[in-house]
Amino acid sequence: MLGTISREQVLAAEFEWRERALDWEWADDEEELVTAYHEAGHAIVGCALGAHIASVSLSQASMFDDEDEIGVRRFGDCIVQWGRIDPNSDWQVTRELLTILAGPVAEFVYQSGDEDALDVRTWAGDWRQAQRCVAILKKDPQQQTKLLHQCIAQLRHIVSSEPCWSAIAALADELMLGDEIEGEQVADLVRFWWSRA
């Protein structure tokens, strides 16, 4: 016979799960640093394109983890807010697309363009979001693929150049300290590095 579960029991079980998730250890510092560059890429490019970054952080368990992707977990979060938007605006969708792709591209650039060092499974959520964006912008699948490649090539140039790369590196360093970074700190980094350009 099944009994009822109290709210307290549910909360206790959730707390226990979160405690175990937070006890998780990074495989190594390099994995954590790669994730820091990935999240910093999203945050810096999004902010430079006019988004408000609510927060960016490294964490052992993300609220955005996909339950159906066994063994693949995200270890960082970047919360991007665009404010009032027109979802039918190509420019808005393009800004979102560039921000989404900026994380994987920053990770790629950090790893010196070494494709063998990349684990693209960790980008599954980014790729799905990017594909949704390109599907809005282009109806033809070949045109969608072409647009993705163009955006990635454009971002590789932008992300690896000044002032963007210095801002991403500075934010990645801040993330490695372990605290959540508030949006105003991200905006300050963008203003600082862009003022030096």
Q: What are the residue boundaries of the structural domains of the chain, listed by start?
A: 28-195
**Residue 2 pLDDT > 50, yes or no?**
no
Label residue 3 by pLDDT band (50, 70, 90). Answer: very low
What separation, in Å, do the N-terminal and C-terminal C-alpha atoms of the chain show? 69
Q: What was the pLDDT predicted at 30? A: 83
Mean pLDDT, rounded, for 67-80: 66
pLDDT at 197 over 70: yes
Q: pLDDT value at position 100?
A: 96
pLDDT at 14: 57
pLDDT digits (tens, 9 = 90+) for 9-51: 555 555 565 555 445 454 558 888 999 999 999 999 999 999 9
pLDDT score of 122: 73
Q: Which of 7-21, 54-68, 125-139, 168-182 has the lowest mean pLDDT?
A: 7-21
Q: pLDDT band for position 162 (50/70/90)? A: very high
User: In the CATH scheme, what architecture does the domain 28-195 have?
Assistant: Up-down Bundle (1.20)
| 116-151 confidence digits (pLDDT tens) | 665 667 788 898 999 999 999 999 999 999 999 999
